[in-house]
C-alpha cells in the first residue's frame, strides 16, 4: 500500500471524464487500498480516481464510523431525493471551503472491490460525499457548484492557533 500524490487545482486531469473499469482484479484492489491510505493520510472523507491521476471510475469514501471505508468501482447514481445545503471542501483544493447544494439522499449501483454488483443508499454526509466523488469522475469540481459568495480560504495553521 502506498500514499498517492493528490492532484490539485489547475491539473487538467481533474477536468477529464473517467473510463469504466473493465475488470476488477488485484491491480484495481491495490489501487483502491492505496486510495484509502491516501484518503486517511490527508484526513479526507472521499477520494476519486482522477484525484490521484487515474482516469478510472474508482471512488473511496470513509466517514470514520464503524462501517469502515467504502470502495466503489464504476458507481452510478440511480436515484436522488431532496436537497441539503452543506459546507464542502476537497483534497484537490486544500484549505478552501464553500456552501453547496447536494442531494439529501442518493442511491447508487456499483461494483465492490471483489467485482460484485452492489446497491448503496446514502443520506446526509454519505449522500454528499457520494455526489462529490461521482462528480469528480465526470470532471466536475465542487468549485463549479458553489453558492456565490461562500468560498473561503482557511489558513492551514488556523486550527493550531485556537
- Residue 41 domain boundaries: 12-161
Q: 62-77: per-residue pLDDT in tens?
A: 999 999 999 999 999 9
Asked whether the predicted pLDDT for residue 162 surpasses 50, the reply is: no
Q: Is residue 53 part of a domain?
A: yes
Q: Is residue 72 part of a domain?
A: yes
Q: Is residue 130 part of a domain?
A: yes
Q: 8-17: per-residue pLDDT in tens?
A: 999 999 999 9
H/E element, 47: strand 46-48
Asked whether the predicted pLDDT for residue 157 surpasses 80, the reply is: no
Confidence of residue 49 (pLDDT cuts 50, 70, 90): very high
CA dihedral (130, 52, 74, 16) positive or negative: positive
Q: How far apart are CA 138 and CA 118, in angstroms?
A: 21
CATH code (residue 117):
3.90.45.10
Asked whether the predicted pLDDT for residue 57 surpasses 90, the reply is: yes
pLDDT of residue 161: 43
What does DSSP say about strands 105-111 and 117-123: parallel, antiparallel, or unpaired?
A: antiparallel
Task: Spell out the alpha helix ranges (H) of 21-111.
Answer: 26-41
Q: Is residue 6 part of a domain?
A: no
Catalytic residue among 8, 22, 105, 133: 133
Q: Is residue 34 part of a domain?
A: yes
Q: Is residue 90 part of a domain?
A: yes
Q: Which three cell numbers stand for residue 54?
A: 487515474
Q: 109-146: per-residue pLDDT in tens?
A: 999 999 999 999 999 999 999 999 999 999 999 999 99
Q: Which three cell numbers stand for residue 106?
A: 442518493
Q: Is residue 5 part of a domain?
A: no
Total number of domains in the chain: 1
Residues paired with residue 70 on neighbouring β-strands, in sequence order: 61
CB 155 within 8 A of CB 95: yes
Q: Is residue 26 part of a domain?
A: yes
Q: Is 105 considered catalytic here?
A: no
Mean pLDDT of the chain: 95
Q: 80-104: per-residue pLDDT in tens?
A: 999 999 999 999 999 999 999 999 9
Amino acid at each position: 500500500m502506498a500514499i498517492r500524490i493528490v492532484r490539485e487545482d489547475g491539473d487538467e486531469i481533474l477536468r477529464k471524464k473517467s473510463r469504466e473499469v473493465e475488470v476488477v482484479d488485484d491491480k484495481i484492489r491495490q489501487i483502491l487500498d492505496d486510495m484509502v491510505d491516501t484518503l486517511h493520510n490527508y484526513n479526507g472523507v472521499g477520494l476519486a480516481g482522477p484525484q490521484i491521476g487515474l482516469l478510472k471510475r474508482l471512488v473511496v469514501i470513509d466517514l470514520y464510523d464503524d462501517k469502515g471505508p467504502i470502495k466503489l468501482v464504476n458507481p452510478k447514481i440511480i436515484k436522488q431525493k431532496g436537497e441539503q445545503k452543506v459546507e464542502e471542501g476537497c483534497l484537490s483544493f486544500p484549505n478552501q471551503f464553500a456552501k453547496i447544494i447536494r442531494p439529501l439522499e442518493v442511491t447508487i449501483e456499483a461494483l465492490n472491490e471483489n467485482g460484485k454488483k452492489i446497491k448503496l443508499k446514502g443520506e446526509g454526509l454519505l449522500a454528499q460525499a457520494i455526489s462529490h466523488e461521482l462528480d469528480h469522475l465526470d470532471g466536475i469540481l465542487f468549485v463549479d457548484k458553489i453558492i456565490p459568495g461562500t468560498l473561503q480560504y482557511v489558513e492551514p495553521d488556523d486550527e493550531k492557533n485556537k
